[in-house]
Amino acid sequence: MSPNRPSILARRVTWAVTGTVAVFLLVIGLLAYKTFALMEDELVDEVLAGQVAALRDDLGSGPAAQSNLPMRWSEGGRVQAWVLPANQPPPLEHMFAAGSGGREIMLAGRTWHTWVETVPQGLLYVRYDATAHENRVRAFGWILAGSAALALVCAWLLARRLARRVVAPIRAVSDRLAAWEGVTLTDEAPAGDEARQLIGAFSRIQDRIDRSVAFERQFAANLGHELRTPLAALRSDCEMALLDTGPGTPLRMRLERMMVQVDAAASSLAGAAALNSADPARMRHVDLAQVLEQAWFALEPMARARGLVLDARIPADESRFLDPDALLIVLRNLLRNAVEHAAPATLRVSLAADGALVLRDNGPGMAPERLAQVREWHAGRADLSAVAAPEADHGRGLGIAQRVCELRGWQLSVDSVHGGVGSGTIFRLDLRSASSQLDS
């Protein structure tokens, strides 16, 4: 996207901010103008009242008075007064009220405030030229309007600059997504409409991801289907060979071990779907001790060779309602991690007070930097295999276990003490889903 291309989103932000400032300035300006106008009216009323009081005092000094009193000046305005008998008409037609009191008149571009009052000599007529006051009010209004216009222009310029800075990251993301996709953003949205372009780019990426996930699931299903047949044939051959082998011989033990490995491979294929789905149909009551024994049986030869001893302390008939294949995958990876990194040691598997599975070994433990890396990976801020040792598969088993736990809503946490007395690593697996924990 060209940086000189007009931005619809930036214009929207600019006019939204400018409109808000315009409404604010309009309200403040009207209130200020109205307040100043009221102040000027009160000032005129006070001046007129003062002049009327002075005239009243002058007229009270004697019974006779001129009908047309001398003109006075006050606060920049002219004050004219007349004293006429009550039966005579006012000195200026339509200028004074019919009875006692005051009024404001706009006449020939000038503003007059008038007052009529009864005095011993008859009626006192007073008018005050308030044009200068009205001109001050108008001048104040023009000053307010000019200041508001200048402030509005400054607000528009600042809002335009701010909008460009706000929209710039959105445009950068849209450009990056478009470059990655190899498409032109203007194909689906008008030029400069960053919001629609970004939404369209994310929609296309989501479609691509959905297609990739669907392809991977279909590939995994097809691969599992193709591998089950040779595994079933291999198990059948092992069973036939066992019939021709005498009990207690080394060959028979190898054949039995081969059958266990074949069953483990078949179980892994059945549980591979657990990495990408959480089908409720897989849920059933599972004996935890039996699943642990099944996971340990396939790893026992390697564990014995490396010096890892399993101390299983799960009570018999302790069951949970969950996906057995998912639990088997998690336990196999945790046990394999203990065999590869904790041996020689003793691995104790027990239940915590809240029912969580606890796998505790007394091995050397993890170094602080390694534990920090594992926790960062566990929080989703790092790739465990990328920050770990050069081995290609280092940390991949824990990643698989964590993935299965996330899909099931289980909680997998780790703690470790490196070296010295009390060293070892503890994995805690809470098999309660997030919804069940909230219900409890």
Residue 47: predicted pLDDT: 84
Q: Check whether 286 has a pLDDT greater than 80.
A: yes
Look at residue 345 in the predicted model and tell me its pLDDT.
93
For the residues 394-399, what does the mean pLDDT come to?
Answer: 69
Name the more confident of 173 and 45. 45
Among 76-80, 128-132, 276-280, 367-371, the range scoring the smallest mean pLDDT is 276-280
Q: What percentage of the chain exceeds 90 in pLDDT?
A: 24
pLDDT in the model for residue 71: 61
Highest mean pLDDT among 9-18, 61-70, 273-282, 305-314: 305-314
pLDDT of residue 55: 82
The letter for the amino acid at 51 is Q
Q: What is the pLDDT of residues 176-202, one digit of tens each?
A: 777 766 655 544 445 556 667 777 777
pLDDT band at 87 (very low <50, low <70, confident <90, very high): confident
* Choice between 128 and 387, residue whose per-residue pLDDT is larger: 128
Min mean pLDDT across 277-281, 357-361, 396-400 is at 277-281
Residue with the bigger pLDDT between 399 and 435: it is: 399
Residue 112: pLDDT band (50, 70, 90) is confident
Q: Does pLDDT of 220 surpass 60?
A: yes
C-beta separation of 343 from 405 below 8 A: no
Question: How many Cβ atoms from other residues are within 10 Å of residue 105's Cβ?
Answer: 16
pLDDT digits (tens, 9 = 90+) for 59-84: 776 554 455 566 665 555 678 888 88
Selection from 177-181, 380-384, 386-390 with the highest mean pLDDT: 177-181
Residue 428: pLDDT above 50?
yes
Q: What is the pLDDT of residues 119-152, one digit of tens each?
A: 888 888 888 888 888 889 999 999 999 999 999 9
* Amino acid 435: pLDDT: 45
Query: Given pLDDT bands bounded at 50, 70 and 90, which one contains residue 22?
Result: very high
pLDDT tens digits, 23-57: 999 999 999 999 999 998 888 888 888 888 888 88
Mean pLDDT of 315-320: 90
pLDDT value of position 151:
93
- Please write the tens of the pLDDT for every residue from 323-338: 888 888 899 889 998 9
| pLDDT greater than 50 at residue 389 | no
More reliable by pLDDT, 301 or 396: 301
Q: For residue 1, name the pLDDT band (cuts at 50, 70, 90).
A: very low
Residue 379 has pLDDT above 90, yes or no: no
Please give the average per-residue pLDDT across 265-272, as a whole number. 67
In the predicted model, what is the mean pLDDT of the chain? 79
116: pLDDT strictly greater than 70: yes
Give the model's confidence band at 243: pLDDT under 50 very low, under 70 low, under 90 confident, else very high. confident
At residue 4, the pLDDT reads 46
CATH level 3 topology of 278-439: Heat Shock Protein 90 (3.30.565)
| pLDDT for 393 | 47
Examine the pLDDT at 172 and tell me if it is beyond 90: no
Average pLDDT of the segment spanning 384-388? 48
